[in-house]
Chains A and B, each alone.
Chain A
Amino acid sequence: MAEAVSFWVFAVLALGSALAVVAMRNIVHAALMLVLNLLAIAGLYLTLQATFISIVQVLVYAGAIMVLFLFVVMLLGVDRDDTLTTAPRLTAVAVAGAALLAVALLAAFVGPYTSPASVCGADTEVAASSDAVRCIGLDEVYGEDGQGGVVLLGEQLFGRYTFPFELAALLLTVATIGAVILARRRDLDPEDLDPEDLDGSEPPPGAAGLGSTSSDALDLDPGTAAADTELVLDTAADDERED
């Protein structure tokens, strides 16, 4: 009973706030609604007895990611209302697409996942012809765990899913490198990028293997060349803008 009540409360909250995220005109308000949405979903996890995931949801999404998001919004000052206006045609397309997906999902889920067999604990036979789904609850797994899914999760991460887990470490490495590169205010020239190094005295990679076409190389003065490159590209970009 308590489970049903909390489910409905959180579900309505999650749906309502999700709608509000899209409908709100002020980006900070929308972001706050997203926070509410994430909290409501954490509440749904809680109803499923997955305390660990629930609290991590609050900690990571509501507590860290959304704060950073708002932080950037504030720092860049993009919180003015006019930045969020979209063409009505695009809105119509988006609404139509979302409605289509919603209808499809409803049609797909309402039948099989609301049948008597899908209720956990019910021993209803699943008819072979119907689309109905048998309940696959996490009850047993969490039952012997007692820590809200921590042990279960740990065992999965370091057992079955070791490889993707380690890959995720690479993902974070890449993200860190990217963040550092983007955040660096001014590119430091690599220490070996002095003009005298660029005059061809240092062999580029591959020099050992071949020299046949290297006589074709006609390096311009690297300093001016580099400056020109950027200049040309910048003016090109400007031209495009004016068009």
Chain B
Amino acid sequence: MSEHALWVPFFRAIVVFVYFLLVTAVLIWAERRIVARMQARLGPNRIGPFGALQTLVDGVKMFFKEDVTPAMVDRPVFVLAPLIGVIAGFLSMAVIPIGGEVTLFGETFTLVVSDLNVGVLWILAMGSIHVYSVFLAGWSSNSPYPLMGGVRASAQMISYEIAQGLAVASVVIYTGSLRVGDIVAAQSGDGLFPGMPGWNAIVLFPAFLIFTIGMVAEAGRPPFDLAEAEGELVGGFHTEYSGMKFGMFMLAEFMNVVTMSAIMVTLFFGGPSGPTFGLPDAVAWVMPMFWFFVKMSAFIFFFILLRGALPRYRYDRLMSLGWKVLVPVGLVWALVTAAIVLLEEQTVLTTEVRIGLGVAAAVLVGALLFVGAAPEDADAIPDERDPQDDAAQAPGAADRAENAEEVGT
């Protein structure tokens, strides 16, 4: 890597940065259009063809709007919070390859900022740093709704981070490397039989499911957008924000969608790999970028559909889904993956045995998923709790009981 000319790293960084920023801008527009269509509205349609330049105009508007900072806020943290979100969002893109090998001015390189040898963990780490943004925004606003939003968001993100981490762990165990490049390479061949893609999403289907649910929760998108929940919490953690700071939160949220989709594609759908249809080399380097874009767009579309189709989840259900279903299933699946890898290492398995094992494991995990979830469904009515119980959640804080009570529910 180090043998490249000096301009290569800069070039890669700028390309990746601009790429994701553009996709984010398109996403914002696309989401408004698609959701509008789902709700039988028109959506933005004035500026540019099909309103495509609306995002740009909105950005300009945000930038020039008065940036109100309420008097009671903790100013340094208040300013820092949106920045953390945007920075963490940008940084997590650094390890995602958006295309294959590219030859430019005699230099051949992969379109990724840096293929760290612990890239997968880098992604998770940046996700965990992102929590601070929401959390500190809620706290520094010095106002009840944002605080609740912040507390909700951080609890939600931490919980789902664990589930997500377990899903990623099974990918790592299966691949045997923490390097994103290796994970992509391991998926580029054929699957169990020729013609079938060797994507992790197929082999590690339960992990894929967990990661999908986890990523929606991590991005704080509907139906898991409890942190902003405009119906209950006004705007949640960003209630007190306005102007460009608010814009940064918006940017971070949408960027998160893009990043999460990109990570999903990278870890479970082979990243930029895909057939080149025997194209000549001069053109073939475009194909990986094309495939990556197509796969990522599919997931972004999935996010948008979710937002348009599903109502918001209840908070306690969200937490119990995370802790009582996803975490145990993820744990068991990581164990199963490890066991299969161990078997694979020690004996040579035939395809039939592999498929048999895979099906057995899938049944096991599926059973866990549904058996585990069954009692949860039984209490569809919100459980009756007396307020004292909720106050007790914050032990020794009787004077803040009312606060804790709100937060706890």
Contact = CB atoms under 8 A, between A and B. Distances in A.
B389 A59 contact: no
Contacts of A76: 394, 396-397, 400, 404
A43 interface: no
A241 B103 CA distance: 78
A68 to B, nearest CB: 7
Contacts of B129: 58, 62-63
Interface in A43-64: 51-52, 55-56, 58-59, 62-64
A63 B164 CA distance: 14
Interface stretch (A95-103, A116-124, A146-154, A224-232): A146-154
Interface in B354-409: 389, 392-397, 399-400, 403-404, 407
A51 B397 contact: no
B121 interface: yes
Cβ-closest 3 pairs across A and B: A63-B128, A58-B125, A59-B125
Interface stretch (B64-72, B147-155, B260-268): B147-155
Contact of A32 (B77, B127, B150, B154): B77
Given A32-B77, A59-B128, A76-B397, A147 B177 contact: yes
A148 B178 CA distance: 10
Contacts of B132: 35, 67
A93 B397 CA distance: 31
A75 B407 contact: yes
B229 interface: no
Contacts of B76: 29
B395 A63 contact: no
A51 B179 CA distance: 12
Residue from the set A26, A68, A150 with the largest chain B CB neighbour count within 10 Å: A150
Contact of A146 (B117, B392, B407): B117
B295 to A, nearest CB: 26
B135 interface: yes
Contact of B124 (A29, A59, A147, A148): A59
A62 B126 CA distance: 10
Contacts of B147: 74
Contact of A67 (B77, B158, B399): B158
A77 interface: yes
Nearest to B117: A148
A55 B121 CA distance: 7
Interface of A: 26, 28-29, 32, 35, 51-52, 55-56, 58-59, 62-64, 67-68, 70-71, 74-77, 79, 146-148, 150, 182-183, 185-186
B121 A59 contact: yes
Main secondary structure of the interface of A (DSSP, over half): helix
B186 to A, nearest CB: 15
A171 to B, nearest CB: 18
Contacts of B407: 75
Given A63-B125, A76-B400, A68 B158 contact: yes
B394 A148 contact: no
Contacts of B74: 26, 28
B116 interface: yes
Contacts of A185: 389, 392-393
B118 A150 contact: yes
B118 A148 contact: yes
Contacts of A71: 135, 151, 154-155, 158
B135 A75 contact: no
A28 B137 CA distance: 12
A29 B404 CA distance: 22
B128 A75 contact: no
B396 A147 contact: no
A59 B178 CA distance: 14
Given A28-B139, A182-B395, 20 more contacts: A32-B136, A52-B178, A55-B125, A58-B128, A63-B124, A63-B127, A63-B131, A67-B132, A67-B154, A67-B158, A70-B135, A70-B139, A71-B135, A74-B147, A75-B404, A76-B404, A147-B117, A147-B118, A148-B118, A185-B389
A199 to B, nearest CB: 31
B394 A75 contact: yes
Contacts of B399: 77
A32 to B, nearest CB: 7
Interface in B103-155: 116-118, 121-122, 124-125, 127-129, 131-132, 135-136, 138-139, 147, 150-151, 154-155
Contacts of B121: 52, 55-56, 59
Contacts of A74: 135, 138-139, 147, 150-151
Contacts of B161: 63-64
17 contacts: A51-B117, A59-B124, A63-B125, A63-B127, A63-B128, A63-B129, A64-B128, A70-B154, A71-B154, A77-B397, A77-B399, A77-B403, A147-B118, A147-B179, A148-B118, A183-B393, A186-B392
Contacts of A70: 135, 139, 154
A55 B122 contact: yes
Contacts of B396: 76
Nearest to B179: A147
A148 B118 CA distance: 7
Interface in B173-198: 177-179
A97 to B, nearest CB: 29
Contacts of B179: 147
Contacts of A52: 118, 121, 178
Given A52-B121, A59-B121, A67-B158, A147 B178 contact: yes
A48 B131 CA distance: 27
Contact of B389 (A32, A148, A186): A186
A26 B75 CA distance: 13
